Amino acid sequence: MAETLTTTALTLKDIAREAGVSLATVDRVMHNRPGVRPDTVRRVREAIERHSFQPHVAAAELARGRARRFAFVMPSGPNPFMQQIEAYLGEMAGWLAARRLGVEMVATDVFDPSVLAASLEALSGDYDGVAVVALDHPSVRAAINDLVDAGTKVVTLVSDVPSSRRHHYVGIDNIAAGRTAGALVGRLVGQSSGKVAIVAGSQGLRDHAERIFGFNQVMASEFPGLSVLPVLEGRDQDDRSEQVLARLLGEHADIVGLYNVGAGTQGVAKALSDAGRDEVVFVGHDVTVLTRRLLLQGVMDAAISQNPGHEARAAVRVLLALARGEPILREQEKIRIDIVMRDNLP
């Protein structure tokens, strides 16, 4: 009836006795320190295995004394999504303090590879872990690898650098996000013909490119009657997004769907309403004060969201687990693609 999921209550001392060695030797084995004969190592390892011994995380943490420092390298300038991440880190202040974790924000121009790389290099040695919103570029990749080689734990946040040796990526699968957007636009349009517009920040950004790729995939295979117009680039700015979209709306009277890949949402919404085209199915990204209002007003039909709070917390937890040498709860740290409509606004 009552089934226990955990067992351990042993200490290092028990392992030492079990393996017939002293505490010091067990300690050497546990931390891969030299000076233990291979045969002895094996005996100790076996004793650990046999009881599936786990060091008491509280004791380990206390014993090491030294506090840990993490750095979050984020875009400078006003970006609502990043501000939310920062805000959530602020909310964790108590949690962090109780664990003697120091988290520092480092603002930099993440869109300039050399500047970003320099910022990363500057962190070397001072931090136990670094979370970075990274551009995928050779010099950035090299900077990340240098950090890793120096023993710093590195996670990429929101935007990945898969070719680097970063330990983990905390963010969504952007191709799947684009596919989801495509499925939503297609389904919500609910008719078999018409045109669909895409507004992106830049096709040079990895995440935007991936989203567009996924979007087109679904449109082509599942909604062949809908024709996708060439991608507009709004540089994630409101005014520019508004201009390019307004022109497009003027040229095509039969636009029935719109996918806004990045930011600049305010401008997109304005172009739509100024043109009197509120009936166009409008799917965008992220739940912010603005998109929340647009959803409630019915201007936006759905938002694809990656929970910034979850990303912030996941990044911290992953860095901490990496630093402690603990396994990562992959399922927990996976960032899900949320579909947010008016009625499930968080």
Enter the tokens of residue 214.
């996924």
| Spatial CA neighbour of 279 closest among 167, 143, 188 | 188
d(CA 47, CA 41): 10
Site string for DNA, 57-96 (x = CB under 7 A): --xx-xxxx-------------------------------
Binding part of the chain for a copy of itself, among 12-20, 153-161, 267-275, 323-331 by CB under 8 A, reads 323-331
Task: Find the binding residues for a copy of itself in span 157-186 (CB under 8 A).
Answer: 176-177, 179-180, 182-184
How many CB atoms are located within 10 Å of the residue 72 CB? 24
Site string for DNA, 123-152 (x = CB under 7 A): ------------------------------
d(CA 274, CA 249): 10
How many CB atoms are located within 10 Å of the residue 213 CB? 14
Task: Find the binding residues for a copy of itself in span 80-99 (CB under 8 A).
Answer: 88-99
Residue number with CB closer to DNA (1 or 63): 63
Q: Is 12 in the site for DNA (CB under 7 A)?
A: yes
> What minimum distance in Å lies between the beta carbon of 135 and a copy of itself?
19
d(CA 261, CA 36): 57
| Partner whose footprint covers residue 342, from a copy of itself, DNA, none (CB < 5 to 8 Å by kind) | a copy of itself
Task: Find the binding residues for a copy of itself in span 15-74 (CB under 8 A).
Answer: 52, 54-59, 61-62, 67, 71
- Residues facing residue 283 across a β-bridge: 259, 302
Q: How would you classify residue 20: left for phi > 0, otherwise alpha for psi between -120 and 50, otherwise beta?
A: left
Q: Are 283 and 260 in contact (CB under 8 A)?
A: yes
Q: Is 34 in the site for DNA (CB under 7 A)?
A: yes
Q: Which of 310, 311, 318, 319 is the binder for a copy of itself (CB under 8 A)?
A: 310
| Spatial CA neighbour of 131 closest among 73, 68, 69 | 73
For a copy of itself (CB under 8 A), the number of binding residues is 74
| Partner whose footprint covers residue 286, from DNA, a copy of itself, none (CB < 5 to 8 Å by kind) | none
Q: Are 156 and 132 in contact (CB under 8 A)?
A: yes
Task: Find the binding residues for a copy of itself in span 195-234 (CB under 8 A).
Answer: 214, 218
- Residues facing residue 199 across a β-bridge: 232, 260
Binding part of the chain for DNA, among 54-62, 84-92, 197-205, 246-254 by CB under 7 A, reads 54-62
CA 234 from centre of chain: 23
| Partner whose footprint covers residue 11, from a copy of itself, DNA, none (CB < 5 to 8 Å by kind) | DNA
Q: Which of 129, 268, 307, 320 is the binder for a copy of itself (CB under 8 A)?
A: 307
Residue number with CB closer to a copy of itself (30 or 337): 337
Q: Is 11 in the site for DNA (CB under 7 A)?
A: yes
> What minimum distance in Å lies between the beta carbon of 329 and a copy of itself?
7
- Residues facing residue 303 across a β-bridge: 284, 340
| Spatial CA neighbour of 128 closest among 209, 218, 64, 214 | 64
